[in-house]
A and B are shown apart, each in its own frame.
Chain A
Amino acid sequence: MVVLAVLLPVVFGALLLLGLPRALGVLGAGLSFLLNLYLFLTHPGGVAHAFQAPLLPGAGVYWAFALDGLSALFFLTVALTVFLGALVARVEGRFLGLALLMEGLLLGLFAARDLLVFYVLFEAALIPALLMLYLYGGEGRTRALYTFVLFTLAGSLPMLAAVLAAKALGGSPTFLLEDLLAHPLQEEAAFWVFLGFALAFAIKTPLFPLHAWLPPFHQENHPSGLADALGTLYKVGVFAFFRFAIPLAPEGFAQVQGLLLFLAALSALYGAWVAFAAKDFKTLLAYAGLSHMGVAALGVFSGTPEGAMGGLYLLAASGVYTGGLFLLAGRLYERTGTLEIGRYRGLAQSAPGMAALALILFLAMVGLPGLSGFPGEFLTLLGAYKASPWLAALAFLSVIASAAYALTAFQKTFWEEGGSGVKDLAGAEWGFALLSVLALLLMGVFPGYFARGLHPLAEAFAKLLGGGA
């Protein structure tokens, strides 16, 4: 099943790239969403649907995938976001094909149980992202592209070295996660291996000051917002810290935990601060995303069960609302030809549906109780407080700041005087609005249900680090 879930979008993506019509992409994204919904609803918790086949015989590399509580939740939110994007983004079929390809790679990434396969997919997801930026990007795309590649490769080579070292120095016969965990590293080796991982994942998260690739990446991408929604999902750094880097080298993590916590809190605050000053929607959302990733990372780095659970839940939820906001920004761009916040004014008069949707998405982002952002943020800060009260307080400022930047942007765009006749939501856009609001509400009201698979993982994670209940 898990292999089917991964392959479905890949197959549809490949078909679209060969020039088949766009409608097929919407169908593929819809089917993928339904399949992942089914997988999530029927997932019992624990590891299910395991699949394993040798990839490099003799070298201990396996195509190994499995669904656990974490990957099931991420599968659902990724498939939902891509489906929403396919519904509303007015892009050509090939673009949608790249998006589906990326979805498949991301699903594979979240389900991978073999470290080298994880590395392969981690790198492979770069290809569709690059092509989207290059083929459909704005004027300065070449520069954005090279910045992106430079940062990514600078991280992935130490990571490859860490992958090889994790197996060789620990004495594990294979790259399978369970085998690697059964052969722990010595303390000094753990430090270097963790450092290799940390560099790659901190760049992908991204943590301040390794975020320089992020703003140009979003600014230069296609205005439809589809690529940005995927870019939001592509930030798998926090996930990778939780699943691979910290469990494989806990002693290495312990030595730099303080620094990482500090950087995460700093990222949260810095992102919120720059977002407040942002002049256009994409910059605002890019930095807001940076801020949220900082909060999520803070939760995982705290090493507490609450923090880890909250961080992961926030990661899943933020994919939905930040992705939704990027897509909405794309709708606005299509109607007005601009992304500059100061130039909208009073859109609520002619497009009340859009205003309502934007408000709900923004409120979810701010962390209003009852919407999907709240449970994650709350648990994260709770966990962070246990680890370091001062840093939690620092990061908490970013939550307040997020209310300021989000509501200011909303007010400038939809209220105030002026405004011209802008078309309200129509057709498939209503589907987009209803589905995302429904998802935000459900994830906010029933967090226990959605996080049911996360709980045991977070407990085990904290126990590994010597804390926990």
Chain B
Amino acid sequence: MTLAILAVFSVALTLLGFVLPPQGVKRATLLGLALALVSLLLTWGRPFAFGPYAVDGVSQVFTLLALLGALWTVGLVRSGRFEFYLLVLYAALGMHLLASTRHLLLMLVALEALSLPLYALATWRRGQGLEAALKYFLLGALAAAFFLYGAALHYGATGSLVLGAPGEGPLYALALGLLLVGLGFKAALAPFHFWTPDVYQGSPTPVVLFMATGVKAAAFAALLRVAAPPEALALLVALSVVVGNLAALAQKEAKRLLAYSSIAHAGYMALALYTGNAQALGFYLLTYVLATGLAFAVLSQVSPDRVPLEALRGLYRKDPLLGLAFLVAMLSLLGLPPLAGFWGKYLAFAEAARAGAWGVLVLALVTSAVSAYYYLGLGLAVFARPEETPFRPGPPWARAAVVAAGVLLLALGLLPGLALPALAAGG
């Protein structure tokens, strides 16, 4: 149902886009995404399968997160060209597909369906964006190749293209490793993260919002189905939390800083992969989507392009609401109670503890403390003495979304139990 709605709207709007005004396409896109969301909620908890396309709990939870990211992005953008909205819609289709299958070929198709629109979106602003997009495209193509090799080896080792087929031996391990590389690239796990800072910095802010939320959700949904070998996972987690947090310390540009922080968060999320607990991972992603979405929504109102840290100074005096919301986002990303991010980290860390992965757990705790330095720097910058920069508040509904996300982060921090039963569908 969700798939059908997304597909029909994508194709229909591609044709209609040439005759409708861009604003009309934007509204229709929002409608399509909203309808997909409604249909998702209507069928919540009821699995459904059609050939290799199988909607289960994991797919529903992560599609929900991806759709939220897509809605947010489309709502935030004011583009004069209708293609922008379409590309997001196509990518959302790919995300849903990626989250809803165990079949490796369908996964590859989904991976490309979500990647190609993003390559295009990354170029939306020319100049700097072009270089970033090229980097993204080349590395993305490489990752797709890795994924394809992985799929081929998986077939060789198990005689099946469906993940979860019984298999063993070095060939099987190599296959899983290659699949991990392909998906790790999309999830921005170190050491496959090299594109992230440049692409985040070079792309328009709403697009970055989409990359940081929707793409991550879809990639982790797929990662949940790849039963990665624990040694490989430990390496990814350790590298991600160390590289992400340490590199973020030195950054002077907000989007670039958040790019490194997203690498670190991918590492924390991967802790839940040890036990394959979709509930813990889903909750983490939910808090992450809300906090990152909030941060990028604020950044996109400060400047549509690059955001040096100085540009954030004094935001609280110019617009108290945005300033406070930004602080809430940073503190949640840091994982300071009583914000939702704390429970996300708590659940993920508890999973690692349950799996007995003490080494990476300690590493994650220590690097998490290191991250306080840059999150506080960013969060408190908005309270500094005002800088004389022009500030143009965004549309009222964008402000409303920012406030809603901030309130949700606080509410989920005080009563995390509210969201857990809903996420338990993935169990």
Residues of A within 8 A of B (CB): 17-19, 54-59, 119-121, 123-124, 126-127, 130-131, 134-135, 145-146, 149, 153-154, 157, 160-161, 164, 168
Contact = CB atoms under 8 A, between A and B. Distances in A.
Contacts of A59: 347, 350
B365 A17 contact: no
B310 to A, nearest CB: 15
Interface in B359-394: 365-366, 368-369, 372-373, 376, 380, 383
A127 B324 CA distance: 12
B415 A55 contact: yes
Nearest to B369: A153
B337 A120 contact: yes
Interface in B32-49: none
Contacts of B415: 55
Given A130-B376, A134-B383, A56 B337 contact: no
Contacts of B331: 127
| Main DSSP-derived SS at the B contact region | helix
Interface of B: 320, 324, 331, 336-338, 342-343, 347, 349-350, 353, 365-366, 368-369, 372-373, 376, 380, 383, 415-417, 420-421
B373 to A, nearest CB: 7
Contacts of A120: 337-338, 342
A54 B324 CA distance: 28
A157 B365 CA distance: 7
B416 A168 contact: no
B320 A126 contact: no
| Main DSSP-derived SS at the A contact region | helix
23 contacts: A18-B320, A55-B415, A56-B343, A56-B417, A57-B417, A120-B337, A120-B338, A121-B337, A121-B338, A123-B336, A123-B337, A123-B342, A127-B331, A130-B376, A130-B380, A131-B383, A146-B373, A149-B372, A149-B373, A154-B369, A157-B365, A157-B369, A168-B353
Contacts of A55: 415-417
A153 B372 contact: yes
A123 B347 CA distance: 17
A135 B417 contact: no
A192 to B, nearest CB: 13
A134 B380 contact: yes
A58 B331 CA distance: 26
A19 B320 contact: yes
Contacts of A135: 383
A131 B366 CA distance: 24
Contacts of B417: 54-57
A52 to B, nearest CB: 13
A154 B331 CA distance: 17
Given A55-B416, A124-B336, 14 more contacts: A55-B415, A57-B417, A58-B420, A119-B337, A123-B336, A135-B383, A149-B373, A153-B369, A153-B372, A157-B369, A160-B365, A161-B365, A164-B349, A164-B350
